[in-house]
């Protein structure tokens, strides 16, 4: 099969290309958007259209949804396949989601329940995957000094969200608005496994927020996206994530050595060891393997699914300690493949326990590695995806 992969720089793109090629497919790539951040909708349509005219393909593939590429594929009458790895993805609500050429694969079931009715039969709930082979090769080839340099008791690789939180642009909100939203966020912070924010946003709160948020996000094309969804997922979801991560690492750093690999400002966390950004391909696998405990506080905008971080840690043979997510027991066995917490108090207890119980920790990490090797490698998942996309199941 000939697959055109339109890339924008997602960290999982190289692994997916290798997965397709391992299955025997021919992958062509368009990479202009990776290097040219001024690339426009029109540029994208022109480049993809010209390529398809000169080099006919069986399908076009992207990470996350590109409405303009969907429209181009609709004109050429070929499959457009996308796999979401992020949430929220506001482009999923564009009118182009209804194009019959689309085969949309969404890792988060809550995301799926919103989008599937817009194109019945062509939207699929589809959890993520990991390139176990390459990650294990990096670990096996690591020097002794690298193994020592990237070892940790407790580590986290990722953003605190404090530097990219659009909620913080809220300007001079009235006391009622601040009080309501702060109370709502505090309530949500206490609940794992169910994101209820959107249900508790009355129209007047949404309108009041918009009035005090300059340049409130509005999708530039025709869309099914509502302001309530935007406020709940884009603004409040990111703010809750930022609050939760700062509180989590503040608490843990009072009791344990905690290493963060992040570009976020950690000046408010004086006990944290900020070790800077980690290189995705050459350093992150070693960190995951050499950390006794790898933390995964899932972004709250991922309402039910499991983020890529979990699969990556498991694929490195690392021990995962994650917040509870509704889809977790569907994919893994908590307590056997990884460990989940449902409160910050429980997290603190579990960190203390698993730092002291090395054999249990290593056994769980081993089980998690075997689970992803058996069910969640890219060749396995991509073969299933193509079968669904082309109606072979």
Q: What is the pLDDT of residue 393?
A: 54
Can you tell me which residue has the tokens 């995705």? Answer: 280
Distance CA 305, CA 192 (A): 12
Q: What is the pLDDT of residue 178?
A: 97
CA torsion through residues 224, 200, 343, 324, sign: negative
CA torsion through residues 387, 389, 392, 393, sign: positive
Same domain assignment for residues 264 and 240: yes
Task: Report pLDDT digits (tens) over 205-223.
Answer: 999 999 999 999 999 889 9
Same domain assignment for residues 102 and 173: no
Same domain assignment for residues 155 and 285: yes
Token pair, residue 4, equals: 């055109």
Same domain assignment for residues 153 and 120: no
- Cβ neighbour number for residue 239 with a 10 Å cutoff: 21
Same domain assignment for residues 124 and 142: no
Same domain assignment for residues 284 and 162: yes
Task: Report pLDDT digits (tens) over 44-99.
Answer: 999 999 999 999 999 999 999 999 999 999 999 999 999 999 999 999 999 999 99
- How does the average pLDDT of the chain come out, rounded? 96
Same domain assignment for residues 238 and 321: yes
What is the span of the domain harbouring residue 85?
Answer: 2-129+379-389
Q: What is the pLDDT of residue 316?
A: 98
Q: How many domains are contained in the chain? A: 2
Q: What is the pLDDT of residue 164?
A: 84
Same domain assignment for residues 228 and 361: yes
Same domain assignment for residues 212 and 337: yes
Same domain assignment for residues 162 and 117: no
Token pair, residue 76, equals: 């050429």
The share of the chain scoring above pLDDT 70, in percent, equals 100
Categorize the per-residue pLDDT at 37 as very low, low, confident or very high, splitting at 50, 70 and 90. Answer: confident
Same domain assignment for residues 140 and 115: no
| Mean pLDDT score, 119-129 | 98
CA torsion through residues 286, 289, 291, 296, sign: positive
Distances (CA, A) of 265 to 36, 163, 245, 246, 301: 27, 7, 12, 11, 21
Categorize the per-residue pLDDT at 287 as very low, low, confident or very high, splitting at 50, 70 and 90. Answer: very high
Categorize the per-residue pLDDT at 391 as very low, low, confident or very high, splitting at 50, 70 and 90. Answer: confident
Q: Find the CATH number of the domain harbouring 322.
A: 3.40.50.2000
Same domain assignment for residues 336 and 237: yes
Q: What proportions of the chain, in percent to the nearest 5, are helix, strand and coil?
A: 50, 15, 35
Distances (CA, A) of 23 to 2, 16, 225: 12, 11, 37
Task: Report pLDDT digits (tens) over 132-152.
Answer: 999 999 999 999 999 999 999
pLDDT at 41 over 80: no
pLDDT at 392 over 80: no
């Amino acid at each position: 099969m000939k697959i055109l992969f339109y890339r924008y720089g997602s960290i999982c793109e190289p692994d997916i290309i290798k997965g397709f090629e391992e299955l025997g497919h021919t992958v062509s790539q368009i990479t202009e958007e990776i290097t040219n951040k001024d690339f426009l909708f029109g540029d994208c349509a022109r480049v993809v259209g010209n390529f398809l005219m000169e080099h006919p393909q069986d399908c076009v593939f992207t990470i996350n949804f590109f409405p303009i590429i969907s429209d181009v594929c609709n004109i050429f009458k070929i499959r457009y396949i996308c796999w979401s790895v992020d949430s929220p993805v506001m482009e999923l609500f564009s009118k182009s989601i209804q194009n019959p050429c689309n085969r949309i694969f969404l890792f988060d079931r809550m995301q799926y329940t919103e989008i599937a009715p817009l194109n019945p039969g062509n939207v699929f709930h589809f959890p993520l995957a990991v390139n176990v082979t390459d990650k294990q090769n990096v670990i096996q080839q690591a020097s002794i000094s690298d193994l020592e340099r990237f070892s940790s008791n407790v580590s986290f690789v990722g953003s605190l969200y404090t530097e990219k939180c659009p909620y913080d642009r809220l300007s001079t909100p009235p006391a009622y608005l601040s009080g309501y939203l702060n109370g709502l966020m505090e309530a949500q912070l206490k609940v794992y496994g169910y994101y209820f924010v959107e249900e508790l946003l009355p129209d007047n709160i949404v309108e009041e927020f918009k009035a005090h948020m300059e340049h409130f996000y509005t999708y530039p094309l025709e869309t099914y996206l509502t302001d309530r969804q935007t406020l709940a997922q884009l603004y409040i979801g990111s703010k809750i994530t930022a609050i939760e991560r700062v509180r989590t690492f503040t608490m843990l750093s009072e009791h344990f050595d905690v290493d963060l690999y992040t570009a976020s400002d950690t000046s408010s966390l004086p006990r944290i060891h900020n070790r800077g950004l980690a290189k995705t391909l050459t350093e992150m696998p070693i960190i995951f393997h050499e950390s006794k405990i790898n933390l995964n506080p899932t972004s709250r905008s991922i309402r039910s699914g499991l983020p890529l971080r979990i699969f990556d840690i498991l694929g490195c043979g690392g021990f995962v300690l994650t917040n509870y997510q509704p889809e977790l027991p569907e994919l893994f066995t908590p307590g056997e493949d990884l460990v989940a917490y449902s409160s910050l108090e429980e997290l603190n207890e579990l960190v203390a326990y698993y730092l002291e119980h090395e054999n249990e920790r290593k056994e769980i990490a081993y089980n998690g590695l075997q689970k992803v090797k058996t069910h969640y490698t890219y060749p396995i998942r991509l073969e299933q995806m193509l079968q669904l996309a082309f109606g072979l199941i």
